[in-house]
Chain A
Amino acid sequence: MSLHLQSNITISRRGLVRRRDFLRLVTAGAAAGGLVSWQDVMAESAPLLRKQGMACILLWMQGGPSQFDTFSPKPGHANGGETKAIATSATGVEISENLPHTAKVMDKVALIRSMNSKEGAHPRASFLMHTGYLPTASVKYPTLGSIVAHEIGDHQFDLPSFVRIGGRGPGQTDTAGLLGVDFDPFAMQTQEVGRLPQNTALTTTDPRYLRRLGLLKDLEADYASSGGKQEVADHQKVYAKAASMVRSPKMSGFDLSKEPQKMQDLYGSTPFGKSCLLARRLVETGVTFVEVSLGNWDTHQDNAERTKDLCGQFDQPYAALLTDLAERGILDKTLVIWTGEFGRTPRINPRAGRDHYPRAFNMTLAGGGVKGGQVIGKTDSGGDSVTDRPVGISDLFQTICHSLHIDPTKENMSSIGRPIKIVDGGAVVKEVF
């Protein structure tokens, strides 16, 4: 039973066929004896497993972390503030003293110091960093997790292919968009981490649950025969999938108490630490994409102190995640992305804060075939501008696609039949691999 009731053949008057029309034509042409489902048609060609076993974890630093106080310290320059640099396990690579655990795993990390864009407002920049496109009213560009779930997710998998932990909540504009609700993130609140997500626990005994589903099926017959055949068939597929999800043994992937204490200690007991541990468990269970958010990086005031605190929240879990994935032998197949929507101003403002700065910022990639222990790109001595190997957002998306074996030139259709490339422009940052 597949979760994916839709496909990307949602095309219209421009000579292609929409999903429903296609489905009806197939149905109409098929021999009698029940509906031929869309996924029956698709399943013949669909790969049954997560494509090549690749997965991705996005650690989203909402608000825009200061590059000077995370991965690109500038001690000795006025712009660098008080933050000192420390040596790491990667020869010649120094990062901020706020990240002592991370320093020990930098041999696994490719650090890009030359990220740049033009977007300095949170919503637009967050959308750009999640989709590779700027928001427009007419095309709903899909977010990275949805793209990855759509392209390489296991469409027969019991659990959702894309789980989003935390984040900006309702109103967040980056969703599956034109790819359809099948690829929307399965959203969890941070406080839910560790137990079963909302509405996934049965409210009755299992036999009674099945009995109810049976009654529901029997009572649908009249509606189906009076013109609702297709709606009932679609509805029952969603319900069958939802029921098999909540009854699946794989749901234990959400249960952190199954982890040994030693492992829980490794990640730490902070909400972000637990979320990272959950991300690893879910990926191991077969989930393709997990996004974990850590907020409050918008340090317009007291930047140094607040960034230090935030670094304390991600440092240990981040190092734990890379170490753990490596020890389990799945780091090569799991791309771990750490980024925010932009960086922060080189000048420290009168409130000891730093403001939005998209012109030069940093982010990291690890796992998924990434060659660790290296730095890509440079900024000038004060961190004002990129002086070597600038990396744009499209370049980053090309690079992510390369790691996950996704064809960035593939086109999906917008609701009015406009073909939208997964990535528009840019080039793979080859040194990353």
Chain B
Amino acid sequence: MFRRLLLLQVVVTAMLGFVGAAVAADHSNSLEVAAKVDASLLAELPSDAAKPMQKIGDEEFLRRAFLDIIGHIPSPEEVTAFTLNPASDKRAKTVEKLLADERFGENWGRYYRDVIMYRKTEDRAEIVSGQLEDYLKKEFNTNASWAKVATEMVTATGDGTENGACALIIAQQGQPEEVVSEVSRIFLGVQIQCAQCHDHPTDRWKREQFHELAAFFPRTASRLILTPDRRDISVVAQDTFMFRGRPGMANRRFVGTAEHYMSDLKNPTDKGKLMTPVFFATGDKLPLGTKDADRRGSLAKWMTEQENPYFAKAFVNRLWSELNGEGFYEPVDDIGPDRACTAPKTLEYLAKEFGKTNYDIKWLFRTITATSLYNAPSAPRRNPDQAPMQNNVAQRLRGDQLFDNLLNALGVSEPQPPGGMGARGGLYGRRFTPRGNFNTVFGYDPSERRDEVAGSIPQALVFMNGANVNAGIRASGRTALAKMMSQIKDDQALVTEIYLRVLAREPSGKEMSTCLAYVKKVDNRNEAFEDLQWSLINSTEFLHRK
């Protein structure tokens, strides 16, 4: 057995090394795969829905791609340059350019930070949220394999403010049941935690299987460090135990326990049943007594192997849903075997191809953005009785995207909190920045079904009455509007410029006449254009990615 484990560690290490080398590899078959995905989707959808898709115009495509990939809208100059560019491959080229932009990692690092932190069961895990964001940003920007990210998160140890990969475990206080629920949900799209307390009525997972998964994590704990000069949370692992873990200790996991026990529901004070680590998806198992590093290392390896039916699909399904507005499975993190899939063969194919690239994240972006569905016109969410995946579905922007959108529209740089950013210094440094405060009001859990994410009164109040917004739209002083007004004397040109800056598009004929009529009616140029900018910032379109 020992030999096998040793071998296994070598394999894991070798795999990590290989992943590093794979960054530069060229997976240039994106267009080919995208075309096959189009064909497969067409074949799988109901026959009356199987018709070639329309293609959106350049302005719409550009705003969509910018928001999806880097989280910002394009500048007026970028819109103009793109629409005038005659090259036939300009969309693919733009995607390539955006994937190389630093803001790509920032946008998606924040996205996955939210995936993890919106499910935290420990408020203080907020301490490590900034480091998590930085870690993910780097992984996305260096195009690390998704397998490497998953492996690092599952096997992390150390201080959360040093190693961002620790955050997933810290967010669940190192409790084995909660940690494996999240690992399974985020990386496999399987909500096995429903089996935590009872065999699930509509799922195949048994309570035993859930606890066998938890048995990969008993030796891991999350330790709060509170000394006068330091506040941190560490993921600690240990393999020697002075005394055996006893029931009732579970909520104070400053140290782990040697093995995991499944509690006896009828007799909660009993120690419960000793569980052997078994990975439900592949059936791979480890003996009792296995060291922590081998437990978590093996789980990470088995999870990310191409034989595992869930790992690639979970990521593809999530990204497809984010980019096209409708997942193969919904919600995005619930793709277990007893769930209905809109187009199983298409997902299967794309996931397999993604696996072949060793989970090359940028490859998947290139491929999905080249599909017809990504280039299709925007439509509201379909009725349940309508055919799926006929249009790209509009989605509400996440807090960070909207905040950047607002800064852009007002032409201001990111405000710093009084006393500086304190990014590393302040315990909750980033939470109390203007961006953090904005996210408190506008953020949402990105794993939720997007059409269930509703607007709120406090959000409306920020945009309607917020002091910063109203100072920013003034037509006098040093605002962007004041500058535009002094430079552009023609009202029609000014309306166009404001539309480009706020919504990254030119106004329609009807919108132009509404605006000009308004300017005339108000009979006060400053007031009228302040009102126009206010209206566009407060519009539905501003809040959405179409």
Which A residues form the contact surface with B (CB < 8 A)? 3, 5-6, 10, 13-14, 18-21, 24-25, 28, 118-121, 123-124, 127, 135-138, 160, 168, 170-173, 180-182, 184, 186-187, 198-204, 208, 211-212, 215-216, 218-224, 226-232, 234-236, 238-239, 241-243, 245-246, 415-416, 418
Contact = CB atoms under 8 A, between A and B. Distances in A.
Contact of A211 (B181, B378, B522): B522
A199 B466 contact: yes
A120 B191 contact: no
B539 A203 contact: no
B29 interface: no
Contacts of B541: 220, 223, 228
Q: What 5 A-B pairs come out closest when comparing CB atoms? A: A242-B460, A135-B121, A199-B461, A137-B119, A235-B540
Contacts of B122: 123-124, 135
15 contacts: A118-B251, A135-B121, A137-B119, A138-B194, A171-B428, A172-B123, A199-B464, A201-B465, A221-B510, A222-B510, A223-B539, A224-B540, A228-B546, A234-B455, A416-B331
Contacts of A204: 470
Nearest to B457: A242
B413 interface: no
Given A21-B384, A173-B121, A242-B464, A137 B514 contact: no
Contact of A231 (B193, B527, B544): B544
Contacts, number: 200
B454 A138 contact: no
A238 B456 contact: yes
Interface of B: 119-124, 126, 171-172, 178, 181-182, 185, 191, 193-194, 202, 248, 251-252, 331, 334, 339-340, 377-381, 383-385, 391, 394, 428, 431-432, 436-437, 440, 447-449, 451-452, 454-462, 464-467, 470, 508, 510-511, 514-515, 518, 522, 527, 531-532, 534-536, 538-541, 543-544, 546
B43 to A, nearest CB: 25
A124 B428 CA distance: 19
A245 B511 contact: no
A138 B185 contact: yes
Given A212-B534, A215-B532, A220 B540 contact: yes
A216 B384 contact: no
B123 A219 contact: no
Contact of B544 (A28, A198, A228): A228
Contacts of A216: 534-535, 538-539
Contacts of B448: 415
Contacts of A229: 380
B541 to A, nearest CB: 5
A25 B539 contact: no
A87 B8 CA distance: 71
A378 B331 CA distance: 48
Contact of A239 (B182, B460, B462, B531): B460
Given A14-B202, A219-B539, A220-B539, A230 B456 contact: no
Contact of A25 (B379, B380, B383, B465): B383
A105 B331 CA distance: 52
**Which of B119, B185, B377, B447 gathers the greatest number of chain A CB atoms within 10 Å?**
B119
A13 B467 CA distance: 44
Contact of B394 (A118, A208, A228): A228
A416 B191 contact: yes
B531 A208 contact: yes
B156 to A, nearest CB: 17
